[in-house]
Amino acid sequence: MTLTQQIQAYAAEQPEGAPITAKAFLHLGNRAAIDQALARLAKRGQLMRVGRGLYVAPVQSRFGTRSPETSKLIEAFAMQTGETVVANEAASANALGLTTQVPVRQVYLTSGSSRELKLGKQVVELRHAPQWALALPNSQAGQALRAMYWAGESGAKAVVTHIKQHLAHSQLKELSFAPTRSMPEWAAREIGAMRAVYG
């Protein structure tokens, strides 16, 4: 098989949204040839270029070709890069009923550098966030923490009052043990007060 065919075969075996980069093919040839093959496949529509040196395979369905689901791309991207990637602070506040505003753009917080991924006409923004705001991923306790990040010092107390009424005791306990070392003083103070009650 040619280099292009080998890349195509590899892409076809990947789960939806899995990032495809030149690094996966360095054993097949030199970097320049691999980059050219990836670019050629993207030009043909057999791969989608989502960022610099980053591609995904489009999904074939009975309705035609579509982009991978954003959530699957983000999940696979985080797994491959080792970054922590979570829903943004405004989405977390919305999920907890603290605001009715829904962000127009798809924004995620990341432990990595800020950048954009493009899925066809969609732009997915990855925005660097402090480590404390990324703690407790995939839990309501983590959403509450990011809601505090969204509210800031002036609104943190209101967020804590709200979540005490809406989160289960186990979730409040999990939140109370969030690592406070890297938090700003106001956030550490609120979490410390919760630890005294739920810890």
User: Which pLDDT tens digit goes with each residue over 43-97?
Assistant: 999 999 999 899 999 998 888 889 999 999 999 999 988 999 999 999 999 999 9
**Positive or negative CA dihedral for 53, 119, 57, 139?**
positive
For the chain, percent of residues with pLDDT exceeding 70: 100
Task: Report whether pLDDT(104) > 80.
Answer: no
Q: Work out the average pLDDT over 152-171.
A: 95
Residue 77 is assigned to a structural domain of this protein: no
Same domain, 112 and 168: yes
Per the structure, the complete domain to which residue 182 belongs is given by 83-198
Q: pLDDT (tens digit, 9 = 90+) per residue, 105-147? A: 899 999 999 999 998 888 999 999 999 999 999 899 999 999 9
Both 101 and 140 in a single domain?
yes
Tell me what pLDDT residue 57 has.
Answer: 95
pTM, to two decimals: 0.87
Same domain? For 102 and 59 the reply is: no
Give 53's DSSP letter.
T
CB 160 within 8 A of CB 172: no
Q: What is the pLDDT of residue 60?
A: 85
Of 100 and 132, more confident: 132
Same domain, 151 and 182: yes
How many domains, the chain?
A: 2
Torsional sign, CA 172, 178, 180, 185 = negative
Residues 29 and 60 in one domain: yes
